[in-house]
Amino acid sequence: MIKIQNLKKTYPGEVPTTALRGVSFEVASGEFIAIMGRSGSGKSTLLHQLGLIDSPTEGKIYIDNADVTLLSDIEKTRYRLEYLGYVFQEYALIVEFTALENVFFPAMAFGKNEAEYKKRALELLTLVGLGERSGHYPNELSGGEQQRVAIARALINSPKILFADEPTANLDSESSKVVLDLFQKLNRELKQTIVMVTHEPEDKKFVHKVVWIRDGLLEKEEKTHGNKSRL
Amino acid sequence: MNDFKTAFFIAYKSILKGSRSMLGLLIFILFLSFFNMMFISGVLNGISYSEVEALKSFMSSDLVINPQELPVHKQYILNQNEVRAEIASIPGVVATTRHYLLAGSLVFDKDKNGQYKSVSGTIIGFDPSDENKVLTFNKLLMAGQFLSDTDTDQIVISGALAGGYGEVAPNDLGGAKVGDKIRITYSNGIMRTYTVKGIYNDVMGIYETFISAKEAESVLSVYNSANQILVKTDDNSNTIDSYETKIKAMEPNLKVQNYNDIIASFASFLQALDLISFVVGVISVIVATITIFVLIYVNALNKKRQIGILKAIGIKQSIIINAYILQSLFYTFCGVSLGVVMVFLVLQPLLISHPIPLIQGLMNLILIYSPTGIILSILSFIIAGYLAGRTPAWLVARQDILKAIWG
């Protein structure tokens, strides 16, 4: 589903910083993978390239055999809305929107039918265990609950791939487990492809594969046995 | 359309859930800016209007007809009775009056001791009963009485020329009062002595001396003539240009001027008022623009991360910018609406119920606006609101997604 070929990223500046030095690997459809590595290894940079919120200096990214590095900025914006979902480290919700509004907002921007996206948003909130709290504003929700709203929002347009950038970094262990269980459930039940950056070794048990990044290079790909779902 | 709906939704929720105090402050500043612009321009327009109306009322009326200039300059309009009757037949013409214009010097010996004071000036002869139908000069009288048609040995002079009435003229007669005798030597050499019948307040800067037309004809040895015919018209029936055209068609040899030509000497004053009004307007718009710009910019900077996230999840930059523009236009709409209510529903009725006198009480201060002026004022604020919302939102929203989210 995702094919990465020799991906490089150098940030310009007085002293250019090379974050990725040529990374290649593949993610199969329905796979739940973790990108791991030390702080500064380049794992978040890699996720940003895959998620089309940054452009690589060199290399190719194919999603469903289409070279997405060739897309213009406007096309990338549309592609992100239509085919990709994001969960950020901090609970990146819009504070003026209720939980329900946060969830259906990408569908509204997409131009879907209002009644349908509201129904779907409520279903997703129910899926993440927050159906009863759809009218609450982010400041009325806990960190874990906000992150679950963010996950529901990421799923509203039925993305091909769900990207998560250290989604449990700011959560307590209980909330972290709820979130990761939720990812696993989505992956198992909806066959949702998930690419997650994490630095927690114990998160390995939720994923099919770990891509280890070190100093901007692929260190190894590690198959895990934690996630028993079939690809 | 969907992009607009999405932008509207962001703007609506931001206003609804945003800081109430900031919203109130922003709208209040915009209201003050707009009110300031409207109030100053309305007052200055009102002063301009009052000045022009006063000049028309006391000096020029609506139209002034002068003797033939081309091909041969003539001194008088002959058969003025017939000319005026013809003009009076034009629908909408309210009344006419004629003027004889004479030059002469006034001499007065206040203490009867041979110490004469003299003043040169214009002496105007008119038929008082006709004059009162066209000009309201008699309202300026502050001592004595106005002339009557049969007066031949009496005059009305300005307070400044008489002296001692507070007004200042380059020269005066040293304190002539009603009942005093003043000798006039006309430019044709004829010398006559008159009794001061009335003294008027020359608030409009008019320093003429008045005699009856009958007396003027006696001095000039003419009959049924005039140096000027003044025409008062009904503004509601026709435009001033239309009256002018009709009179020119009737009397092609005479020179017809409308009040705008006559009051041209006041044009620089009126232009100065317009300029002040314009400058105040521009400053108000700039203040409004900067206010909106700063507050939207601060707001957008505070939400930089949120803007980055919106972009990251695939929301178009144009939707984000339009959301800020809509918010800015909403603030502008509220400020302008409050200003309109304050000017037209509060201040204007207040000035009617509690008039403020102008030109020593001859006119009252009124706020005057042209439909074009109102539209331009509102439009300038809307444009200011649009630009002041768009620019800061664009400055923040154009940032790279990663920089916006993580700095």
Non-local (6+) Cβ contacts of A174 within 8 A are A144
In angstroms, rounded to a whole number, what is the distance separating the alpha carbons of residues B64 and B176?
32
Whether residue A231 is predicted with pLDDT greater than 60 in this model: the reply is no
| B212 touches B126 (CB < 8 A) | yes
Tokens of residue A34, six digits: 């973790």
A contact test, residue of B313, B401, B403 with most A CBs within 10 A: B313
Say if strands A17-27 and A2-11 run parallel, antiparallel, or are unpaired.
antiparallel
Q: Which residues in chain A are closer than 8 Å to B18, comparing Cβ atoms? A: 96
Which of A80, A92, A96 shows the shortest C-beta gap to B314? A80
Q: Using pLDDT thresholds of 50, 70 and 90, give the confidence band for residue B283.
A: confident
Cβ density class B31-51: b for 16+ within 10 Å, e for less: bbbbbbbbbbbbbbbbbbebb
The candidate with the shortest Cα–Cα distance to B18, out of B295, B382, B392, B293, is B295
Nearest CA in chain B to A97: B13
User: Do A92 and B306 count as a contact with CB atoms less than 8 A apart?
Assistant: yes
pLDDT at position B167: 62
**Cα of A225 to nearest chain B Cα, Å:** 32
Instruction: Decide if A109 and B309 are in contact by the 8 Å CB cutoff.
Output: no
Find the helix or strand (DSSP H, E) in which A175 lies.
helix A173-190
* Total-model pTM: 0.78
Cβ-Cβ contacts under 8 Å, A53 against chain B: 311-312, 401-402
Q: Tell whether the torsion through CA atoms of B396, B401, B404 and B407 is positive or negative.
A: negative
Q: Is the pLDDT of residue B6 over 80?
A: yes
**What is the distance between the alpha carbons of residues A22 and B143, in angstroms, rounded to a whole number?**
105
Lowest mean pLDDT among A143-157, B99-113, B346-360, B366-380: B346-360
pLDDT tens digit sequence for B94-127: 999 999 999 999 999 888 887 888 998 899 999 9
Amino acid (one-letter) located at A180: L
Q: Between A and B, how many residue pairs show a Cβ–Cβ distance under 8 A? A: 68
What pLDDT score does A70 carry? 93
Q: Provide, as residue numbers in chain B, all residues whose Cβ is less than 8 Å from the Cβ of A137.
A: 17
Mutate one of A54, A75, A96 to test the B interface: name it (highest B CB count within 10 A): A96
Q: What pLDDT does residue B352 have?
A: 86
Residue B144 sits at φ, ψ, to 5 deg, of 75, -150
Chain A contact set for B16 (CB, 8 A) = 96
| Cβ separation B13–A96 shorter than 8 A | yes
Residue A71 in contact with partner chain B when CB distance is under 8 A: no
Higher pLDDT, A224 or B204: A224
Left (φ > 0), alpha (ψ -120 to 50) or beta: where does A102 sit?
alpha
Q: What is the DSSP letter of B60?
A: I
Cβ neighbours of residue B294 under 8 Å, at least 6 residues apart? none
Are residues B18 and A77, on separate chains, in Cβ contact within 8 Å?
no
CA B354 to CA B366: how far, in whole Å? 11
The upper half-sphere exposure of residue A32, i.e. CA atoms within 13 Å in the direction of its Cβ, equals 27
Residues 103-122 of A with CB under 8 A from B: 105-106, 108-109, 111
Q: What percent of chain B has pLDDT over 70?
A: 97
Closest-CA residue to A44 (of A83, A80, A81, A11): A11
CA angle B311, B316, B318 (to 5 degrees): 120
With a CB cutoff of 8 Å and minimum separation 6, the contacts of B378 are B336, B340
ipTM: 0.89
Q: Which of B306, B309, B319 sits opposite A109 (nearest CB)?
A: B319
Helices A99-110 & A143-155 angle (0-180, nearest 10): 20
Q: What is the pLDDT of residue B174?
A: 86
For chain A, the first-to-last Cα distance in angstroms comes to 12
Distance from CA of B303 to the nearest CA of A (A): 10
Burial of residue B394 (number of CB atoms within 10 Å: 0-12, 13-18, 19+): middle
Closest by Cα among A161, A132, A167 to A147: A167
DSSP-derived secondary structure for B87-153: HHTSTTEEEEEEEEEEEEEEEE-TTSSS--EEEEEEEEEE-HHHHHHH--GGGGEEEE----TT-SS
Task: Check A54 against B317: CB less than 8 A apart.
Answer: no
User: Do the chains contact at A109 and B314, CB–CB below 8 Å?
Assistant: yes
In this predicted structure, what is the pLDDT of residue A104?
95
pLDDT at B168: 64
Cβ <8 Å between B402 and A77: no
Instruction: Give the tens place of pLDDT for each residue, B182-202.
Output: 999 999 999 999 999 999 887
CA distances from A63 to A3, A47, A83, A157, B50 (A): 7, 14, 10, 17, 76
- Asked whether the beta carbons of residue B13 and residue A86 sit closer than 8 angstroms, the reply is no
Which residues lie below 8 Å from residue B85, measured CB to CB, with a gap of 6+?
none
Average pLDDT score, chain B: 88
Per DSSP, the three-state class of B387 is helix
Please say if the pLDDT value at position A230 is more than 60.
no
Q: What is the pLDDT of residues B27-53, one digit of tens each?
A: 998 899 889 888 888 888 888 888 888
- DSSP for residue A133: G
B contact test, residue of A49, A86, A94 with most B CBs within 10 A: A94
**Interchain contact, A54 vs B311, CB within 8 Å:** no
Q: Extract the runs of DSSP E, i.e. beta strands, from chain A.
A: 2-11, 17-27, 32-36, 58-63, 66-67, 84-87, 161-165, 193-197, 209-214, 217-223
For chain B, the maximum distance between any two Cα atoms, rounded to a whole number of angstroms, is 103
Contacts of residue B314 in chain A, CB cutoff 8 Å? 77-82, 84, 106, 109
Place of tokens 């198959």: A223
Per-residue pLDDT of B147-184, as tens digits, reads 988 888 999 998 888 887 776 666 788 888 999 999 99
Peptide bond into A106 cis (omega under 30): no
CB–CB contact B401 A53 (8 Å): yes
